[in-house]
Structure 1
Amino acid sequence: MTGPSVPEPRSAEPESTDGWAPTPALGRAVLLAGLLLVAGVLLGRVDLVVLASPFALGTAYALRRRPTTLPQVWITAGDDAPLVEGGEVSAAVSVGNPDTVDYDLVVVRSRVSPWLRISRAGFAGVDDPAASDAPPSDAPTAEASPAAGTPAGTGRSVADRPFVTSVPAAAAVDLELAGRALRWGRHPVGPAGARVAAAGGLLVSRAVLTDAVGVRVYPRTEPFEAVEAMPRAAGLVGAHHSRRPGEGGELAGVRIFAPGDRLRRVDWRVSLRARQLHVAATLSDRDAEVVVLLDVLAEAGRSGGVDGSASVLDTTVRATAAIAEHYLHRGDRVSLLEYGPGARRLRAAAGRRQYLTVLEWLLDVRADASQHEPYDQVFGPQQLSSDALVVVLTPLLDERSAQMLARLARGGRFVVAVDTLPANLAPPKDRGWAEVAYRLWRLDRETMIGQLREHGVPVVRWAGAGSLDQVLRDVARLATAPRVGSR
């Protein structure tokens, strides 16, 4: 997990004396001492003057060294190791004391994304018995609405309550937060704030705030492997066998030696038998371009994090990461497209760097509904190679998605549609016509899938390893089949 640079704290300059205010305790002490002194002088009561002396002297002694600068607050997030769903996340909220006097009491509080379940929190080197009162991370709690950004089945984080400590002069104290990342995405730690009490609790500072720090959580790659051949390989080198002669590992036959052939290709058995040099001919190994198209027009289902149920976006992002990792590991080129108003694009490339770029690109995937048809915006001129395999991850909740698949198939593209709608999508619980409407919608969706298959678009449900094997086998067979031409 790579943390951003430490932001500048929002505090006053060291020469400034603003930002500190008297507390009610200071007002009570001054008021009580003044009343006793005035009463003692007016009534000639020495005992009242003596009684007021401890309050006056105590207040003066506490204010003899008043702070002149505000505290500094900043947030640091973890180490440089990549953080994946389900991994351990760590962060720290630091409070610094640039003054020459001690801070008697510091109250620190920080907001944390609900997808970062903070189960342990406390100041470094300071025992915090209150932290043990927090509920365990696996304690059952009431469900929250995912639309509000809260994961289903999780409760309040330990970091939701304030923490109290003291900070010596010219020192800093770290509030360490540790827990578990529940879901992919960019999750904020912060903003954080601190207020300080000094001079024996007679002065209190204004709240000093610092901006949030983003924590990047990469999607967990689901097991995926497609052992079938690509429909058509277009590159010069790669792992897929083509029908063109060239350097490769697939034997195509034996032919007579010709100028330019390598000696290591000489088949000595055939040459001795025919009394003429023969070489083993091979088929070239070529790479392919895989375009993963993410349908972000709609979102459905409840996201329960890495251990719970998966929404449409969860399935889409994790499946994209798995498909990209598989084909990039085989040496193919992978590009990403969003089918939505944003029309984000990641250009095709190969290698380890492209895989890391894919993971970074997926962190910004969001459902973005639009009333306009984004086809022309997404598929501009020469945006898709004619030899590319287009894997479309779609929940088929919008009629425009089905129309897009049909247009790609009619254009001669090799298209595979992966259904990302959750299989356990619950029907509405409302009484009346809601259940009937849900059944009719299901029937209409099945009809749409059947029509897509009639247009030559295979539709399969994502199921991890081997999800696309049968489909790729059919697509490869159709790609190599002879085409009927007109004279």
Structure 2
Amino acid sequence: MTAPAQPAEELAPVRASWQPTPAHTRATVAGFAMVVFGVLVRRPELLVLGTPLFLVSLWSFVTRPDRDPVVAAGPRHLTLREGQGTRWVAQVQPGPGVEDVGLALMGTPHTDFEPAARAVSAASDGVGPVTAAVACRSNRWGRRQLGPAVLSVSGAFGGYRWAPDVVDSRPVTTVPLPDTFSARVPVPRPDGLVGQNRSHHAGDGGEFADIRQFRFGDRLRRVHWPVSIRTGQLHVTSTYADQDSEVVLLVDAMHDIGTSEGAGGRSSSLDNAVRAAGAIAEHYLRTGDRVGLRVLGARGVPALDSAAGKNHLRRVLDTLARTTASKGTVADEKRLRGQLRHRVGTGALVVVLTPAISSEVLGHALALSRRGIPVIVIDTLPSELASPDLDAHLLDTVMPEADKHPQASLLAWRMRLLEREHEMRRAREAGVPIVPWSGPGTLDIVLRDLGRRSRAPRVVSR
């Protein structure tokens, strides 16, 4: 799946002033001192050593730049997809006396740089513009700042330098690259006005329902002439109405279990949840359905009401990119309880993406199911971490400070897995399907079963 090209952002202007470098100061003082001392004490070797230093420093002072360069710096793109790259660029319009332009970036997590040293330089003729750039490739979704950067514009012999303290830039948002996903089975109970899902009621649609006698108001293009001629009465074809459906995504960000190595590497539970949510949202929004999103436990991530369209897909992916794992504080627990009080329409399909570590999230899915709302739980815990026998390296990713108490940590993780299995079994027995994320077709069998169940009579709690 290829990501759409993003337009280049306007670079921010950078301002500073020319200052003599420490090397220029040392050369001036040392050269002048050796020349004067050599003349006074009649030591020619001091004149030989000090004269070149003094002349170079004097030449640097005479040819020093007389005006500030025009500099604009920053990343070329502020929105990327996982695996996409951009350039951190410094564009310099130099003046007379400018010889070199240097750029160096600080390291950023989950980002590859070219060159690997994150430092480049370019020579200037003092007339034409100069560009220094470091290529950056973002390997994981999230909102991060590339840099900060150190920029330097030097005069002749490095005597004078134009250098701001630190060049900061706006954060770069890396939206998740959705996994490949498709669903051939429609949502159980579509409740919208228009769409591509077949309704259970007759209406103006594209799927054949029945042939019946002509009624006042039927369109003439619906007349079925073979049956009309055979019976001697006008008959028309009826169709099922086409409706859109509402899909509500609940992403559990209370825990992030496992190690995240970015695109192409191992994924944590939050990685699986974010990418799966992006894939499901992209699939249903492209088919004309409405998608809503709530990130449970995350701070500063707004809830998105159900909407449709390509612009809404961008909002969903941008919201997922802002997701951060909860720290497990009391405030986070209160925030989670407040987020679980959201309203869900009776015709919506709720997809809960969780590693099933938080019992409150599974309990919420169970409560929605008892209200008659179709609910699907997607298990995002990495498969290698669901085993009770973990080696020391994997145990460190799920239990903090496991190296200090390996046996106790392993026992604690086994007990948590037993509790998790008990809670998942309880949810399944109550009618909440739980499936691991496996890409295309993950929800087909579950949606088919939910569709059959939705047409059967049942008792729900209000």
CA distance in 2, matches of 1:484, 1:442: 33
3-state DSSP of counterpart to 1:242: strand
Find the aligned partners of 1:53 and 1:440 in 2 and give their Cα distance: 79
User: After superposition, what is the alpha-carbon deviation per residue over 1:227-252, rounded to whole angstroms, capped at 9, x for unaligned?
Assistant: 12311110112111112110112322
Q: Residue 11 of structure 1 aligns with which residue? A: 16
Distance 1:378 1:83, change over 3 A: same
- Of the three residues 35, 38, 43, the one matched with 1:36 is 38
TM (norm. structure 2) is: 0.85
What is the SS of the residue equivalent to 1:308?
Answer: coil
Q: What is the TM-score normalised by the length of structure 1? A: 0.81
Distance 1:63 1:410, change over 3 A: same
The counterpart of 2:83, out of the listed 82, 86, 98, is: 86
Q: 2:399 maps to which residue?
A: none
1:307 aligns with 2:264: yes
CA contact (8 A) 2:352 2:376 kept: yes
User: CA 1:50/1:310 → structure 2, altered by over 3 Å: closer, same or farther?
Assistant: closer
Structure 1 segments of 4 or more deviating over 6 A? 45-52
Cα deviation for residue 108 of structure 1 reads 2.4
Match of residue 397 from structure 2: none
Aligned amino acid, residue 31 of structure 1: A
- The structure richer in helix per residue is 2
Is 1:377 aligned with 2:374? Answer: no
Match of 1:358 in 2: 316
Task: Assess if the C-alpha contact under 8 Å between 2:121 and 2:132 holds in 1.
Answer: no
2:355 paired with 1:402 = no
Which one of the candidate residues 414, 421, 424 is aligned to 2:374?
414
- Which runs of 5 or more structure 1 residues have no equivalent in the other structure? 122-156
Does the C-alpha gap of structure 1 residues 53 and 176 become closer, same or farther in structure 2, counting only changes over 3 Å?
closer
2:251 corresponds to which of 294, 309, 324: 294
Give the match for residue 61 of structure 2. Answer: 63
Aligned ranges 1:106-145 → 2 under 5 Å: 106-118=101-113, 120-121=114-115
Deviation at 1:328, TM superposition (A): 1.3
Distance 1:106 1:240 in 2: 60
Q: Considering only aligned residues, what root-mean-square deviation do their CA atoms show, in Å?
A: 2.9
> Kindly tell me: are residues 51 and 244 of structure 1, through their superposed partners in 2, closer, same or farther at Cα, counting changes over 3 Å?
closer
- The equivalent residue for 1:452 is 427
Report what 1:126 is aligned to.
Answer: none
Q: Assess if the C-alpha contact under 8 Å between 1:2 and 1:215 holds in 2.
A: no
User: Structure 2 regions of 5+ residues with no counterpart?
Assistant: 1-5, 393-402
Say whether residues 1:344 and 2:349 are aligned partners.
no
Distance 1:19 1:2, change over 3 A: farther
d(CA) in 2 for partners of 1:49, 1:413: 93
C-alpha distance in 2 between matches for 1:453 and 1:363: 31
* 1:117/1:182 contact within 8 Å kept: yes
Q: Which residue of 1 aligns with 2:183?
A: 226
- What CA distance in whole angstroms lies between the structure 1 residues aligned with 2:460 and 2:96? 89
Alignment of 1:385-396 (within 5 A): 385-396=345-356
Report how far residue 170 of structure 1 moved: 4.5
After superposition, the C-alpha distances for 1:88-131 in whole angstroms (9 at most, x for unaligned) are x131432525443123x54421124232212x33xxxxxxxxxx
- Aligned match of 1:158: 117
Counterpart-to-counterpart distance in 2, 1:36 and 1:165: 39
Partner residue in 2 for 1:96: 92
* Contact kept in structure 1, 2:74 and 2:169, CA below 8 Å: no
Which residue of 195, 199, 203 corresponds with 1:238? 195
Q: Is the 8 A contact 1:73 1:194 kept in 2?
A: no
Query: What is the alpha-carbon distance in structure 1 between the residues aligned to residue 287 and residue 47 of structure 2?
Result: 90
- Aligned-pair identity in percent equals 34
Q: What letter is aligned with 1:184?
A: W
CA contact (8 A) 2:179 2:276 kept: yes
2:31·2:51 contact (CA, 8 Å) conserved in 1?
no
Give 1:181 deviation, angstroms. Answer: 3.1
Letter matched to residue 446 of structure 1: E
- How far apart, in 2, do the equivalents of 1:260 and 1:467 lie? 43
Return the alpha-carbon distance in structure 2 between the equivalents of residues 165 and 333 of structure 1. 51
Go from structure 1 to structure 2 and tell me whether the alpha carbon gap of 1:47 and 1:268 turns closer, same or farther (over 3 Å shift): closer
Distance 2:408 2:49 in 1: 80
Residue equivalent to 1:466: 441
